Structure 1
């Protein structure tokens, strides 16, 4: 009897030991697999996308997107399609032509292809395809046309003929045909359906349902995604997944933003007039606002989206504390470094940033790239990419 009990006890302890070993192995394997999961996922998803064309629309937070792309290009030593010679735009407001890009050959040879294209241009697909590879990822960004028009009025008050002789946007919208002339040329695109115009379409076309559907279908066929400025963080999270980039590739500081004192609050009747005046832009915005959210739910789902937006904002707070003096944007006169002073236009009071003192060299370079305004960064990349050519001259930086 005692031998039977002894045998049972030994069996019990052996089984218990085996169970403990199995649990230990499972725990080890769980941790090990967890550590490997990101690597396995990256392997399955493929390499980061490095051929990217961004249609930079006007007054839509596009300067912040441009900075993300410039940083990615510089970090990964990619070529960027930059304006030729002393120019700052790729032919805008005229339809884009390949010859507007520095480095495009003119001797009958196949044109050079670039990795990144993101400077202002008016979209013209056949000419863009001469510059960008076949596997290029195309994307753009839109903003609520009411607020986009308000920003345009502030920024282009002195350059758009329709805005020059009117005291306020409310006054313009009360009788836009008094100030807007269809025959005044493309400079007036800033005053009506500017985003529609940037996509290469006629901003003075009739708001015909069939025509609008056809043009929106054109955009959907070419562009892999269209972001929405009002949901910028959600848009950036989706973009990061589609491009298979890292979090620090897309973390950002808001650039080319105006101070609160230069932002006008439109009356409700003016907002409705703006929506009707820019009806083509409104149709474009409504459609791609819907498709963005459908894409977000399909690609990520609500829970993962919230988590990744929170992660993006947490990283942004870390970099704000690391890089920025006082953590707040500054007016131009408060920024001593001319390479960080933003260009001022019209009635807009454009803000920039001052960096913390005493930053270690590598941190300083990283922070400088995040806050560098568009013109200065373009000039920097131009000099790096074409050292044999005269550097870009930025007149407002001269004393």
Structure 2
């Protein structure tokens, strides 16, 4: 009897334990189902929140741009005058686009430009000297902007510009820079011209490929005209290209760090945002079009072997670019990545609005352009330009003409008052070969000058 009682008790314990296990298991399944469901909902909610935030940011960008007053009001009013600026205009890096921006900024605020006393370059390829600058105009107390082509000499620059001057420049991937330099100056740089002649005797070989095969056989370092034929950006920086040693690296570091901003062409819009903060510019003043765009047949496609050879031949430019890129990335971090992204969005929206208002057609072949907006054409490449929209007010037309005005025309326009009367033939200024950059007696020039008035 007692034995049966213990068996019954043991059976009850087992049943109770089994029920307890089943209950815990069921509760676990229910809780897991609950949390998985709400986790999915939370994830979906998070994705929706992100999308909503992104949409909100885009709408905010559009709304902010839409709130701007008519962008031509930038010609009439501004809260701050920019500080004095020196822009080292490097070759084939996008520098003409930045120069146009500075031309417009300076002209609007009546800045005094430091122009070359002869031509539109400071006796390039000689290193810059203070004597290369034309005299300070009557009524001006200082030079405000210097942005014409030169080979850098910082000591001489400081003799010309005020102590509070901001120094800026722009660099580009050395591979793309060198391909562009070679295309643009094939007949101007003796080393490139020799390679071009040699390529005529070889089938299916571009002049660039022939040059890079044995560059030392074409390049004479003693010829000043070959300056851009190797490490062109370093040459513009005035660096010693014959000795890539520790002294060169020390000079590079000291020189680069004197610049308040080194813009990077591959991060052009980000560079403009940083420039805006540095010069306290209005957003509309950063509107731009890309200048000196080449036609497709003027661009040489590069395979990996050619790229490697370009890097090897321009190894000092690689050091300069890599070092400057790291400095640029530090400035981005200091500015704030999210803040920068937001401001880049605003810049692009604003610039797009202005381009739509101003530009009728882009990448227009030179023969289809009026002389007033036709870029200078080298013998070895075709440079495309822009046509301006019709049905614009006089003020709008003046703004839009300036936006697309090529370097030589804008340079000549700004130099008119400085150079007028220096030539009995009515030439305002002339280039290195004595050819007029601008002829005041020309009916067509008078027409576009009225548009700029």
Q: TM-score, normalised by structure 2?
A: 0.72
Equivalent residues in 2 for 1:160-179, closer than 5 Å: 160-166=189-195, 167=199, 168-179=207-218
Residue 206 of structure 1 and its aligned partner are, at CA, apart by 3.0
CA distance in 2, matches of 1:315, 1:212: 42
Deviation of 1:388 after TM superposition, in Å, equals 5.2
Higher alpha-carbon deviation: 125-134 or 151-160: 125-134
Listed as ranges, the gaps of 5+ residues in structure 1 are: 1-45, 106-110
Report SS of the residue matched to 2:247: helix
SS of the equivalent of 1:153 reads helix
CA-to-aligned-CA distance 1:313-344 (integer Å, 9 cap, x gap): 11121112111113x22111111x21100001
Find 1:329's aligned residue among 363, 382, 394.
Answer: 363
CA distance in 1, matches of 2:84, 2:96: 19
Q: Supply the distance in 2 between the matched residues of 1:319 and 1:372 (Cα, whole angstroms).
A: 15
Aligned residue for 2:349? 314
* Alignment deviations for residues 58-91 of structure 1 (CA, whole Å, 9 cap, x no partner): 1100000100100001010001011114x12111
Q: Alpha-carbon deviations, 1:337-387, whole Å to 9, x = none?
A: 211000011322111111111211000000000100000101000014555
Inter-partner Cα distance in structure 1 for 2:141 and 2:292 = 31
**Deviating runs (4+, > 6 A) in structure 1?**
396-399
Query: Is the contact made by 2:409 and 2:437 (CA closer than 8 Å) also made in structure 1?
Result: no
Q: Who is 2:24 aligned against?
A: none
Query: How many residue pairs end up in the alignment?
Result: 344
Of 193, 197, 216, the residue aligned with 2:235 is: 197
In structure 2, C-alpha distance between the alignment counterparts of 1:228 and 1:319, rounded to whole Å = 23
Question: Is the Cα contact below 8 Å between 2:239 and 2:252 reproduced in 1?
Answer: no
Note the C-alpha offset of 1:260: 2.3
Aligned to 1:294: 330
Please state if 1:206 is matched with 2:243.
yes
Taking structure 1 as the reference length, the TM-score comes to: 0.82
On the 8 A contact 1:59/1:152 being kept in 2, the answer is: yes
Moved more, 218-227 or 65-74: 218-227
Rounded Cα–Cα distance in structure 1 between residues aligned with 2:120 and 2:210: 32
Instruction: Give the deviation of 1:220 after TM superposition.
Output: 3.1
**2:324 partner SS:** helix
Structure 1 partner of 2:384? 351
The match for 2:82 is 49
Give per-residue Cα distances to partners, 1:165-204, cap 9 Å, x unaligned. Answer: 2131111111101111122x2211111011111111122x
Give the CA deviation at 1:221. Answer: 3.5
Shift of 1:395: 4.3
CA distance, structure 2, for counterparts of residue 307 and residue 54 of structure 1: 26
In 2, are the aligned partners of 1:123 and 1:198 still within 8 Å (CA)?
Answer: yes
- 1:62 equivalent to 2:95? Answer yes
2: distance between equivalents of 1:188 and 1:362? 44
- Of 339-348 and 358-367, deviating more is 339-348
Select the residue among 115, 135, 141 that pairs with 1:82. Answer: 115
Greater RCO structure (CA 8 Å; 6+ sep):
1
- Separation of aligned partners in 2, 1:396 and 1:82: 14
Say if 2:149 is the partner of 1:120: yes
